[in-house]
Amino acid sequence: MVFTTHCWRNSLLSLALLLACLPVWAGGIKIQSAQSYGQDGHYFIDAKFEITLDEVHESALLAGVPLVFTSEFNLTRPRWYWAYRQLSDWFDSTSRQEIKLSYHSLTRSYRVSVGSLFQSFSTLSEALRVVGIVRDWKVFERGGLTRKGPFSDMRLGGELMMRLDTSKLPKPFQLSILGQDEWVVESPKRELLLEETSPE
């Protein structure tokens, strides 16, 4: 078992050194569309991201390194509200959703996983298109704030983004890519108001 773990770590380090020598083009994430809706006191987000990976990430995938993409929505409006909630009951103002992308050499297919559910695709472009689609993502619960009373006019909003989560990479691989800018892949932040109405 110790020998197997040692070999695995050496393989990851060797892979990282090899990837560092590859010529690369820029990868990135763009937000193509984003909207929110409310239902039964909950707020949801639908969004579409365009994800581009460079040669370094593609080579890592083909070598068996899974990539985890994290969507984040950080509640920022009104600021007094989330600051109060954090102090009063350890309220977390950020919602996150993870999607894992991996490559399976035996079937020569790409797998997109959310929790225990997954889909397989024959090409990377198809897999990335699905990774970039966010549907019915619950980001916030209104709780005690009702449409009546002093909070009736309060508009809730925040910032939406998606990033490649390098903290989810295998530990030896994380250490070997420290300081490599090509592994920083994230979208700009987009401000988004949380709407009360459901989409038609």
**Number of domains, the chain:** 1
Highest mean pLDDT among 61-75, 153-167, 168-182: 61-75
Interval 158-170 mean pLDDT: 92
Q: Tell me, what's the pLDDT at 195? A: 84
Round to whole Å and give the CA distance between 168 and 45: 24
CB 134 within 8 A of CB 48: yes
Round to whole Å and give the CA distance between 37 and 25: 37
pLDDT in tens, 38-97: 988 889 999 999 999 988 899 999 999 999 999 999 988 876 666 666 656 666 788 999
Q: What is the DSSP string of 111-154?
A: EEEETTEEEEESSHHHHHHHHTEEEEEEEEE-TT--SSGGGTTP
- Identify the helix (H) or strand (E) that includes residue 10: helix 2-20
Residue 115 lies in a domain: yes
Residue 200 lies in a domain: no
Residue 198 lies in a domain: no
Q: Tell me, what's the pLDDT at 70? A: 97
Residue 146 lies in a domain: yes
Could you tell me which residue, 22 or 122, shows the higher pLDDT?
Answer: 122
Residue 63 belongs to domain spanning:
2-193
* Mean pLDDT, the chain, whole residue set: 80
Residue 112 lies in a domain: yes
Interval 148-176 mean pLDDT: 78
Residue 46 lies in a domain: yes
Residue 199 lies in a domain: no
Q: Tell me, what's the pLDDT at 129? A: 97
Round to whole Å and give the CA distance between 182 and 47: 25
- Nearest C-alpha neighbor of 100 from the set 57, 164, 50: 164
Interval 11-37 mean pLDDT: 66
pLDDT beyond 50 at 35: yes
